[in-house]
Amino acid sequence: MTWQLHGDPLMWIAGIRALYLQALCPRAVRGVLANSDFRRDAWGRLMRTADFVGTTTYGTTDAAERAGAAVRGLHRRLTATDPASGERYRIDEPELLLWVHCAEVDSYLQVLRRSGCPLTDAQADAYLREQRESGRLVGLDPARVPGDRAAFAAYFARVRPHLALTPEAREVDAFLRRPPTPAVFVPARAVLWPWIARLAYGALPAYAHRLYGRPAPPPAAVTRRLRATGRLLRAIPPTVRWQLPPRHILRAVERLGPDTRPSAYKLRRAAAIMDGQGERRG
């Protein structure tokens, strides 16, 4: 499931949604602002995140393990301070890693499904089970990582009372609405980025909209826009889309053969096979 889903072009919008959601955890967002250079190197940070997801999805096992070890090693060295208590804490605390993981994976799944990716409930649960491995790579105990939609819903219900709109979250919100851009790309940002940011923000759950205090279109309208965007972007030939950095999919297909190309068709075909097997068993 991960192999098929992570090649979808809506992953970029899902990643922005994840940043909006992750910023609502006070300890997590303080850790990012205390240790990140995202204000000066926003695009570099975005590409490093894309590179990590691409490596752990489409790279070799050794490459994925090296990427995970590098992230764990970096996080072990980083700390942040709670401004209210003065407490110094590590940013690799399991609860913080779990929040970042769940907000990211939930964003991928929610945006792709709402944008028309043909994913059954059983396939969605299979994807979440697979993502326990990505949790392990960043330092989590896979047994503690939610592995299906019901477990994710229970997790978000548990942490929701602890989320808040802090000054740091406001800073992330302002940054995402108007990120710094090299001068040559400013016209493109003016045209494209507001649409991307509004769509990602609109795809957040209702409780996140309430915390940010900014209205969002009705969920049905957001879903229609996600589907229209999905149709538009998926119409671009994959071999064109996959030329963009970091190009992990092209390298994986070159390594493993053309039959391994990620495709939504394979999800539909797998679902049809599973349905047929169920009917025969019945």
More confident residue, 273 or 57: 57
Using left for φ > 0, alpha for ψ between -120 and 50, and beta otherwise, residue 120 falls in: beta
Cα–Cα distance list, 256 to 67, 117, 259, 261, 262 (Å) = 20, 24, 8, 9, 12
Give the best-scoring range by mean pLDDT among 140-149, 192-201, 232-241, 272-281: 140-149
Per residue, the 3-state secondary structure of 31-57, as one string, reads: HHHHHCCCCCCHHHHHHHHHHHHHHHH
Q: Is the pLDDT of residue 97 over 50?
A: yes
CB count, 10 Å around CB of 33?
19
Place 9 in a pLDDT band, splitting at 50, 70 and 90. very high
Q: Is the pLDDT of residue 279 over 50?
A: no
- pLDDT for res 266: 84
Cα–Cα distance list, 160 to 62, 149, 262 (Å) = 36, 16, 34
What's the rounded Cα separation, in Å, for the pair 114 and 76? 36
Place 276 in a pLDDT band, splitting at 50, 70 and 90. low
Residue 96 in tokens? 């913080």
Q: Which residues contact 247 (CB under 8 A, 6 or more apart)?
A: none
Q: Is the pLDDT of residue 102 over 90?
A: yes
Place 189 in a pLDDT band, splitting at 50, 70 and 90. low
Residue 111 in tokens? 């945006």
Q: What is the mean pLDDT of the chain?
A: 90
Of the candidate ranges 106-120, 139-153, 175-189, 198-212, the one whose mean pLDDT is the lowest? 175-189
Q: Is the pLDDT of residue 191 over 80?
A: no
DSSP structural state of residue 89 = E
Q: Is the pLDDT of residue 188 over 80?
A: no
- Does the reported pTM lie above 0.75? yes
Q: Is the pLDDT of residue 36 over 70?
A: yes
